[in-house]
Amino acid sequence: MSGLRLIVGLGNPGAEHLRTRHNAGFWFVDALARQVDGRFGVESKLRGETAKVHYAGTSLWLLKPTTYMNASGQSVGAALRYWKIEPEEMLVVHDDLDLPPGAARLKFDGGHGGQNGLRDIFAHVGHGRFHRLRIGIGHPGPGNRDRVTPWVLGRPSAADEAAILDAIGRAFDVLPMVVEGEFEKAMHRLHTPEDKD
């Protein structure tokens, strides 16, 4: 499997959304940019903020759509076309209600699981054959759909935020493998719990 050329973090633009659960994808790419001295700049024709970085021996584009979550596909589709990148060479990092805070899971292909940013990317790309990094944010509880929107747009508790940041840190540990195309190896490492002595 080919390596990565693009990492997309999903979230909502604006200071009021900065620390919300729905912005876990932004947290990830912002932390990655800081790690490698990347600088985001607004790219209006791509409807996003972009940074070109060197990571794990590879030149990578980082993208944060500025379209709001539900229209993420507009930005992602434009970036793939503009940079001539195949969807299979992309990693999309997003929050996931179905995983508890502290969980991080890699995935290739499959459905969108109701995640609105992914749903819009599917609509623009035409399929789901791209890599995802799912960052768990927990769920407000079964049978209470009305609480999902305030939950994802709300700020996590201090304990949940620490767990989410820990998950992002563990994903960073395997990111070089993902970038180099060793996806199965990265998945195995990330998904296998470490033995606690």
Other Cβ atoms within 10 Å of 99 Cβ, number? 18
The 3-state DSSP composition of the chain as helix, strand, coil percent (nearest 5) reads 45, 20, 35
Residue 22 appears among annotated catalytic residues: yes
Options 22, 94, 124, 131, the catalytic residue = 22
Quick one: how far is CA 31 from the chain centroid?
Answer: 12
Q: Look-up: residue for tokens 């994802």?
A: 152
Residue 39: DSSP 8-state: -
Parallel/antiparallel/unpaired status of strands 48-55 and 41-43: antiparallel
In DSSP notation, 113-135 reads TT-HHHHHHHHHHSS--SEEEEE
Instruction: Report the distance separating Cα 159 and Cα 107, nearest Å.
Output: 26
136: helix, strand or coil: strand
Catalytically active residues are: 22
